[in-house]
A and B are shown apart, each in its own frame.
Chain A
Amino acid sequence: MEILEFRFTSQPARQGVDAKLCGVVGSGNLEILIQPGDDARACLVAVKTSARGFGQIWEAVIAEFANRHAVGGTRIAINDMGATPAVVTLRLGQALCEYIGGVP
């Protein structure tokens, strides 16, 4: 297992009130918990992943996500069982939509 932590600056997200969970930790899949964070201009991300050695790709995937969408002021925790970047990106998008209650 690898534990990764990131902090990305991002435009402030439309504020969600509740924590939202998206996904299930099955093989090739992941769960994403998104909730309000302390820093309105940053997104804090903590990843626990069963796969080793993909830290750079995780960083690139989440950096791209924080760049394309306004996710400042959130805290994201991820438990991952070997999802590809395609699945990760899709779930991040789904989780954000759930959190803000609409399409970003």
Chain B
Amino acid sequence: MKESSATRLPRRLRYFEATARNRVAAVMDAGTFREFLPPEQSQPSPHLAVLDIPGSFDDGVIVGAATLGDRPVLVIAQEGLFMGGAVGEIHGAKIVGLLQRAVREKPAAVIFMADSGGVRLHEANAGLIAISEIMRAVLDARAAGVPVIALVGGSCGAFGGMGIVVRLCSAVVMSEEGRLALSGPEVIETVAGVEEFDSKDRALVWRITGGKHRYLTGDCDELVDDDAAAFRRSAIELLNDWKEPSSSVAGLRAEQERLTSRCQRFDGLRDGLDVWRALGVTDPQQIPLMDRDSLVALKKELPA
């Protein structure tokens, strides 16, 4: 009986499909995770009960402490399958509390496994406030010298306010399956029409918001396979020589200038393909088909 070689896929934990709890268990050093406010000490959100929704014990986010490569870290992991990972009051308060704890305890890093569509509309202003508090708390942690490393590779990606939060982090690690953006494709299509953005064209969505595109444009620092072990390795490597830069007005102005000229440089381009071509990629059509290692090698060859 024939068996073709080199096609057996190893069994591994897919990051994209894993629950938040399984991601934490797989990315952190085995057995080191200790959850704050575990389910048995928590109740679902009363805001959701008012709306006749059962909710969940952890309100869709897990926070706690662990070690990563033997370094002490604090951990946030959003559960994308619960209400689209969206941020409500309790969910947001857990994240903010964890980041404030990081300011006090100064762990080697905060690992932020983001998987969220943004504000939990059910909770309206409470969700908006929560996200703005998260933004402030991320910057406070960084200002205290604690790197906040975002891992984006789940089914929700990081959209809306969470998209902004992720870009405020010290570094972003994404997989090809992950997405990072502001407005969601369906929202854009609803508001501006299908000619502006056909949200059902999944290949287009990933060319514009997906990990490969973000990696090529520099909006994420590392691209990894859809594999919890790969996210783990990447986070450990980032922390090996990490020095959290101190922020300065000059530095912020320089970054704003960089972003402004980037906007101008790619003005009018409507597809990742066009952006990649403008970046110097000779055959942009190949990008979606390439494996991770080939893409990383290709990026190294591109003009700065």
Q: Contact residues of A with B, CB < 8 Å?
A: 1, 19, 21, 24-26, 29, 31, 33, 35, 48-50, 77, 79-81
Contacts and interface: CB of A to CB of B under 8 A. Distances in A.
Nearest to B60: A25
Interface string B40-59: 10001000010011111100
A33 B39 contact: yes
18 contacts: A1-B49, A1-B53, A19-B39, A21-B21, A21-B39, A24-B19, A24-B82, A25-B54, A25-B56, A26-B81, A26-B82, A33-B39, A33-B40, A48-B44, A77-B57, A79-B44, A79-B56, A81-B54
B79 interface: yes
A15 to B, nearest CB: 16
Interface in B24-40: 38-40
A74 to B, nearest CB: 12
B19 A1 contact: no
Interface of B: 19, 21, 38-40, 44, 49, 52-57, 79, 81-82
Interface of chain B: mostly helix, strand, loop or mixed: loop
A48 B55 CA distance: 9
Contacts of A1: 49, 52-54
A33 B21 CA distance: 14
Contacts of B82: 24-26
A32 B135 CA distance: 32
A96 B98 CA distance: 31
A53 to B, nearest CB: 14
A19 B44 contact: no
Contacts of B53: 1, 50
Top 8 A-B pairs ranked by shortest CB distance?
A: A26-B81, A19-B40, A48-B54, A25-B56, A1-B52, A79-B54, A24-B81, A21-B39
Given A21-B39, A79-B44, A33 B57 contact: yes
A20 to B, nearest CB: 9
A101 to B, nearest CB: 15
Given A50-B52, A80-B54, 9 more contacts: A24-B56, A24-B81, A25-B55, A25-B81, A26-B82, A33-B57, A48-B44, A79-B54, A79-B57
Contacts of A31: 39, 56-57
A81 B21 CA distance: 19
Contacts of B54: 1, 25, 48-50, 79-81
Contacts of A21: 21, 39, 57
Contacts of B44: 48, 79
Give the interface centre of B39, B40, B54, B81 by most chain A CB atoms within 10 Å: B54
Contacts of B52: 1, 50
A80 B82 CA distance: 11
A46 B79 CA distance: 23
Nearest to B54: A48
B81 to A, nearest CB: 4
Contact of B40 (A35, A48, A50): A35
B224 to A, nearest CB: 23
Nearest to A25: B56
Nearest to B35: A21
A24 B39 CA distance: 12
B79 A24 contact: yes
A34 to B, nearest CB: 10
Contacts of B57: 21, 31, 33, 77, 79
Contact of A19 (B21, B38, B55, B81): B38
B38 to A, nearest CB: 7
